[in-house]
Amino acid sequence: MGHEYNYDIAGYDFGWDVKSGKFTFEGEDAVLFWISSAMKTFFDTIEEISGEEASNLVFESTGFRQGLVVGQYFEKMKEVSVAEAADMITNTYATAGWGLTIIKDLDFETKTFTAFMKDSWEHKVNVAQGKKKGGSFLPAHYAGVFTGLFRTNIWYKIKQHQLEGHEHSVIEYFPSDVTIADNIHQLARKKESEQIRKLEGLVEEKTAELKELVNKLSSPIIPVLEGIVVVPLIGKYEEDRADQLIVNTLNRLPSYKASYLVLDLTGMDQEIGPHAVSLIEKIGSAARLIGTKTILVGISSTLGIEITQSNINLSKFDCFQTLQHGIHYAIGQMGRKIYNHKKQS
C-alpha cells in the first residue's frame, strides 16, 4: 500500500507523505489544525497570557506581516496584474480553508478596495470563543497583501463583522501612514504610561498614609495629670504639618478639660524655620481662646536664637528648661502639690 498521495483540487496541488508525516500545499510544507478546538486553544492561550489589547495587536501584526510576504511574492510576478494576483490569492485561500473572500471596487489609481469575507477560519474561532466582536488577523492580513502588491502602505477600516449577525464581514482598504511598528510602539508607550500612573498612584497613596501616620505619632496629646496635657513637638514643621497639628490639638483639647497645655519643644528639628516659631505662637494663642494656658519647655539654644530673631513675641508664655519643671509649675498654679509618700517600715 502506498504512502504518498497527491490531488489536484481546483487547480491547486495537495500532497501527503504519510510515512514521513508531511503535508504539502502547492509544493510547500503546510500544516492542518482543527479550527474550533486547536486554533481556539491557540488564540485563547495568547489572550490569557498577553491580555486582550496586546493579543489583538499580536494577531493584527502577524496577519499584516504574513500578508506582506504574500503580496511581495506576487508583486514580483510581472506577468500578473494586481487584479489577477488578488483573484489568485483569494482562490488559493479559499482552497486552503480560509473561507470566502471577494475583492470589490478595486481602484488602481486611488489604491482602494473593499473586501467581503464570509465564514473565515478567524470568524469560526471567534464563534467558538463566544466573542461578540470579530478579530483583526485577516483584515490586517489583506492590508499586508495589498501593501506588497501596490508597494504602498495600505491600512483598513472594518465596516461590519459577520459575527454581529451580518452575512459578510466588510472591510474597506486605503493608503495610510499607519504602520504596524507604530501601533506596537504606541501600545508599548500606553502600557508604560499606565504602569507609571499606577506606580504614581500607589506612591501617592502610600505617601498620604505615611504622612497621616507621622502626624498621629509625631505630635500626640498626652494627658499626664488631671487638667494637664503634654504635646511633644517632634521633627520639622512645614506649613501643612503645622496647620494640621494646630487643628488636631484644638479639636481634642476640650475632651481632656485641660487647664494647661505643655508644649515640649525638646524633639524639634535643629534646622527650624519660621513656620516652627509661628506654630508655637499660633497654637498657644488658640489654646488660650478655649481657656487653656500654654507652657513652653525644652527650648534649645537654636530655637531660642530663632525666636529672638523673629518678630513673634512668646514672652506671654511661661517657659521652663525641662518637661518636669513645666509640669510641676502647672500643678502649683492649679493649687496642688506632689507628695513623696515613703513606705513606713
CATH match of 33-178 with 3.40.50.300: no
Spatial separation of the C-alpha atoms in residues 222 and 234, rounded to whole Å:
14
pLDDT of residue 80: 78
Architecture of the 219-333 domain: 2-Layer Sandwich (3.30)
Q: What pLDDT band is residue 236 in, cutting at 50, 70 and 90?
A: confident
d(CA 113, CA 159): 13
Burial readout 184-215 (b: 16 or more C-beta within 10 A, e: otherwise)? eeebeeeeeeeeeeeeeeeeeeeeeeeeeeee
Rounded-to-integer distance, Cα 145 and Cα 147, Å: 5
Q: Quick check: 218 pLDDT over 60?
A: no
C-alpha cell at 294: 500654654
Model confidence at 189: pLDDT above 70: no
- Ordered DSSP codes for 58-122: HHHHHHHHHHHHHHHHHHT-TTS-HHHHHHHHHHHHHHTTS-EEEEEEEETTTTEEEEEEES-HH
Does this model's pTM top 0.75? My answer is no
Q: Which of 4-18, 51-65, 238-252, 309-323 has the lowest mean pLDDT?
A: 238-252
Question: For residue 13, which amino acid is it?
Answer: D
User: Cα–chain-centroid distance for residue 222?
Assistant: 43
User: SS3 of 320, please?
Assistant: strand
Task: List, in sequence order, every residue forming a beta bridge with 293; answer none if it has no partner.
Answer: 260
Cell (9 digits) for 74 = 506576487
| 33-178 matches 219-333 in fold | no
Give the span between the Cα atoms of 59 and 131, in whole angstroms. 15
Give pLDDT tens digits for 56-94.
888 888 899 899 899 888 887 767 788 898 999 999 999
Q: What is the pLDDT of residues 118-166, one digit of tens each?
A: 999 999 999 999 998 899 999 999 999 999 999 999 999 999 999 999 9
Mean pLDDT to the nearest integer, 241-267: 84
CA distance 72 to 286: 83
The gap from C-alpha 89 to its chain's centroid, in whole angstroms, comes to: 42
Q: Which residue, chain included where needed, has cell 459575527?
A: 163
| Cβ atoms of 307 and 279 closer than 8 Å | no
* Three-state secondary-structure class, residue 236: coil
Q: In terms of Cα–Cα distance, which of 222, 224, 221, 228 is closest to 335?
A: 228
Least Cα distance to 329 among 280, 281, 279, 261 occurs for: 261
Contact 327, 320 (CB under 8 A): no
What is the pLDDT at residue 206?
78
Residue 306's pLDDT is what? 77
Angstrom distances, CA of residue 28 to CA of 4, 24, 25, 149: 15, 5, 5, 21
Nearest Cα residue to 284 out of 297, 272, 270 = 297
For the stretch 274-295, pLDDT in tens is 667 788 888 888 888 888 999 9
Q: What is the pLDDT of residue 270?
A: 58
Position 345 confidence tier, pLDDT thresholds 50, 70, 90 = very low
Give the Cα separation of 139 and 66 in Å (integer).
12
According to DSSP, the residues that pair with 320 across neighbouring strands are: 297
Residue percentage of the chain with pLDDT more than 90:
41
Which of 77-81, 191-195, 306-310 bottoms out in mean pLDDT, i.e. has the lowest?
Answer: 191-195
What's the grid cell of residue 105? 471596487
24: three-class secondary structure by DSSP = strand
Q: Where are the domains of the chain?
A: 33-178, 219-333
pLDDT at 14: 93
CB contact at 8 A, 279 and 237: yes
Of residues 212 and 109, more confidence is placed in 109
CA 15 from centroid of its chain's CA atoms: 51
